[in-house]
Chains A and B, each alone.
Chain A
Amino acid sequence: MNSWRLILQSLRYHAKSHIGVLLGATLATAIITGALAVGDSVRYSLQKMALSRIGIIENALYNPERFFRTKLASDLASELGVKTSAIILLPGTATAQRADGTGGDVRVNRVQVIGIESDFWELNANPMTPPSIRGESVALNERLAAALSIKIGDDVLLRVNKPSLLSRDAPLSTIEDATVTLRAPVGAILKEEQFGRFSLEANQTPPFNAFIAREALQKLIGMENRANALLTGVTRNAPSSVPGTQTSASANATSALWKHWDFTDSGLDVRKVPNQNLVELRTNRVFLDPPLGEAAIKAMPDAKGTLTYFVNELRVGQKATPYSTVAAMDGGIVPSGMKDDEILVNEWFAQDVGAKVGDQVALKYWLVGPMRKLEEHSSTFKIRGILPLAGVANDPTLMPDIPGLSDKKNCREWEPGVPVDLNKLRDKDQAYWDIYRGTPKAFITLRAGQNIWKNRFGNLTSVRYPARGNDGEQKVRACLRQALNPASQGLFFQPVRERALTASSESLDFGQLFLGFSFFLILAALLLTALLFAFGVEQRASEIGTLLALGFSSRRILAFLLMEGALIAILAALAGVALASLYARMVVGGLTSIWSGAVSNSSLEYHANSQTLIYGGLAGFLMALFAIYLAARRQTKASARELMASGSESAARLFSASRSSTRLLPGLLTALVTGVLALVLGIATPFLGVSDNHEAESGIFFGVGALALIAGISICRVLLSAGERRKGGALTMKSLAERNAFRRVGRSLGVISLLASGSFLVIAIGANRHDPGENATRRSSGTGGFALYAESSLPVYQDLNAPEGRDTYALDDTIITGAKVVSLRVREGDEASCLNLNRAQTPRLLGAPEKELADRGAFTFMQTQGTTTGNPWNLLKLQDSDGAIPVIGDTNAVTWSLGKKLGDTLDYADDRGVLHKLRIVGILAGSILQGGLILSESHFTRLFPGDSGYRVFLIDAPPERAKAIGAELTRKLSDVGMAVTPATDRLSAFQTVENAYLSIFAILGGLGLLLGSLGLGIVVLRNVYERAGELALLRAVGFRSSDLQTLVFREHALLLSMGLIVGTLAALIAVLPSLLSPGANIPYLSLSVTIGAVFLSGFLFAYLAARFALNAPLLNALRHE
Chain B
Amino acid sequence: MTAKRTSESGLLLEVANVFKSFREGNDSPETPVLRNVSLLMHVAETAALVGPSGSGKSTLLNLIGTLDKADKGVIKLDGQDLTRLSEKELAQVRSRDIGLIFQLHHLLPQCTVWENVLVPTLALPPGNSVKGGAHTSAPEQPELRAKRLLERVGLLNRLTHRPGQLSGGERQRVAVVRALINSPKLLLADEPTGALDARSAENLADLLLELNREEKVAVLLVTHAPELAARMGTVYQIQDGTVSLQ
Q: Tell whether A102 is near chain B: CB-to-CB under 8 Å.
A: no
- In the complex, chain B residues whose CB is within 8 Å of the CB of A542: 104, 106
Roughly how many angstroms separate A6 CA and B120 CA in the complex, as a whole number? 11
Interchain CB contact under 8 A, A9 and B94: no
Q: A545-B106, A644-B102 are in contact. Are A552 and B122 (CB under 8 A)?
A: yes
Interchain CB contact under 8 A, B102 and A548: no
Interchain CB contact under 8 A, A9 and B110: yes
What is the minimal beta-carbon distance from A548 to any residue of chain B, in angstroms?
7
Q: Tell whether B157 is near chain A: CB-to-CB under 8 Å.
A: no
- In the complex, chain B residues whose CB is within 8 Å of the CB of A546: 106-108
Roughly how many angstroms separate A1081 CA and B210 CA in the complex, as a whole number? 86
Q: Within residues 538 to 587 of chain A, which ones have a CB less than 8 A from any CB in chain B?
A: 542-543, 545-554, 556
What is the minimal beta-carbon distance from B139 to any residue of chain A, in angstroms?
17
Q: A1-B115, A5-B115, A6-B122 are in contact. Are A551 and B108 (CB under 8 A)?
A: no
* Partner-binding segment picked from B5-13, B61-69, B235-243: B61-69
- In the complex, chain A residues whose CB is within 8 Å of the CB of B26: 658, 660
Q: Within residues 119 to 141 of chain B, which ones have a CB less than 8 A from any CB in chain A?
A: 119-124
Q: Within residues 86 to 132 of chain B, which ones have a CB less than 8 A from any CB in chain A?
A: 87-88, 91-96, 100, 102, 104, 106-111, 114-115, 118-124
- In the complex, chain A residues whose CB is within 8 Å of the CB of B121: 1
Interchain CB contact under 8 A, B94 and A550: yes
- In the complex, chain B residues whose CB is within 8 Å of the CB of A551: 91-96, 120, 123-124, 182
| Candidates B67, B96, B100, B119; contact of A639 at CB < 8 Å | B67
What is the minimal beta-carbon distance from B130 to any residue of chain A, in angstroms?
12
What is the minimal beta-carbon distance from A423 to any residue of chain B, in angstroms?
111
Q: Tell whether A656 is near chain B: CB-to-CB under 8 Å.
A: no
- In the complex, chain B residues whose CB is within 8 Å of the CB of A9: 108, 110-111, 115
Interchain CB contact under 8 A, A1 and B119: yes
Interchain CB contact under 8 A, B115 and A550: no
Q: Tell whether A475 is near chain B: CB-to-CB under 8 Å.
A: no
Roughly how many angstroms separate A345 CA and B51 CA in the complex, as a whole number? 139
0/1 string, A1-30, CB within 8 A of B gives 1: 111011001101110000000000000000
| Candidates B88, B104, B119; contact of A550 at CB < 8 Å | B119
Interchain CB contact under 8 A, B122 and A2: yes
Q: A549-B94, A551-B91, A551-B92 are in contact. Are A13 and B110 (CB under 8 A)?
A: yes
Report how many A-B pairs have Cβ atoms within 8 Å: 81
Chain A CB within 10 Å, residue with most, of B68, B104, B108, B118: B108
0/1 string, B75-89, CB within 8 A of A gives 1: 000000000000110
Interchain CB contact under 8 A, A12 and B110: yes
Q: Within residues 43 to 83 of chain A, which ones have a CB less than 8 A from any CB in chain B?
A: none
Q: Tell whether A641 is near chain B: CB-to-CB under 8 Å.
A: yes
Number of interface residues of A (CB under 8 A): 29
Q: Tell whether A1019 is near chain B: CB-to-CB under 8 Å.
A: no
Q: Tell whether A822 is near chain B: CB-to-CB under 8 Å.
A: no
Q: Tell whether A845 is near chain B: CB-to-CB under 8 Å.
A: no
- In the complex, chain B residues whose CB is within 8 Å of the CB of A639: 67-68
Interchain CB contact under 8 A, A553 and B109: no
- In the complex, chain A residues whose CB is within 8 Å of the CB of B123: 547, 550-552, 556
Query: Helix, strand, loop or mixed for chain A's interface?
Result: helix
Q: Within residues 638 to 659 of chain A, which ones have a CB less than 8 A from any CB in chain B?
A: 639-641, 644, 658
Interchain CB contact under 8 A, A13 and B122: no
Q: A553-B91, A641-B62 are in contact. Are A3 and B108 (CB under 8 A)?
A: no
Roughly how many angstroms separate A549 CA and B182 CA in the complex, as a whole number? 13
Chain B CB within 10 Å, residue with most, of A545, A551, A554: A551
- In the complex, chain A residues whose CB is within 8 Å of the CB of B120: 550-551
- In the complex, chain A residues whose CB is within 8 Å of the CB of B106: 542-543, 545-546, 549, 644
> Which chain A residue has the least Cβ–Cβ distance from B111?
A9
What is the minimal beta-carbon distance from B66 to any residue of chain A, in angstroms?
9
Q: A1-B122, A550-B95, A551-B120 are in contact. Are A10 and B68 (CB under 8 A)?
A: no
- In the complex, chain B residues whose CB is within 8 Å of the CB of A554: 87
| Candidates B67, B87, B182; contact of A553 at CB < 8 Å | B87
- In the complex, chain A residues whose CB is within 8 Å of the CB of B142: 1
What is the minimal beta-carbon distance from B236 to any residue of chain A, in angstroms?
20
- In the complex, chain B residues whose CB is within 8 Å of the CB of A10: 108, 110
What is the minimal beta-carbon distance from B105 to any residue of chain A, in angstroms?
9
Interchain CB contact under 8 A, A6 and B115: yes
Roughly how many angstroms separate A641 CA and B69 CA in the complex, as a whole number? 10
What is the minimal beta-carbon distance from B131 to any residue of chain A, in angstroms?
15
Roughly how many angstroms separate A571 CA and B95 CA in the complex, as a whole number? 34
- In the complex, chain B residues whose CB is within 8 Å of the CB of A641: 62, 67-68
What is the minimal beta-carbon distance from A798 to any residue of chain B, in angstroms?
86
Roughly how many angstroms separate A104 CA and B4 CA in the complex, as a whole number? 111
Roughly how many angstroms separate A344 CA and B232 CA in the complex, as a whole number? 142
> Which chain B residue has the least Cβ–Cβ distance from A13?
B110
> Which chain B residue has the least Cβ–Cβ distance from A556?
B123
Roughly how many angstroms separate A293 CA and B115 CA in the complex, as a whole number? 96
Roughly how many angstroms separate A6 CA and B88 CA in the complex, as a whole number? 21
Cross-chain pairs A/B with CB under 8 angstroms, 29 sampled: A1-B115, A1-B142, A5-B115, A6-B115, A9-B115, A12-B110, A13-B110, A542-B104, A543-B106, A543-B108, A546-B106, A547-B123, A548-B67, A548-B91, A549-B67, A549-B100, A549-B102, A549-B106, A550-B95, A550-B178, A551-B93, A551-B182, A552-B91, A552-B123, A554-B87, A639-B68, A641-B62, A641-B67, A644-B102
Nearest first, the 7 A-B pairs at minimum CB distance are: A551-B95, A13-B110, A551-B123, A1-B118, A551-B94, A546-B106, A641-B67
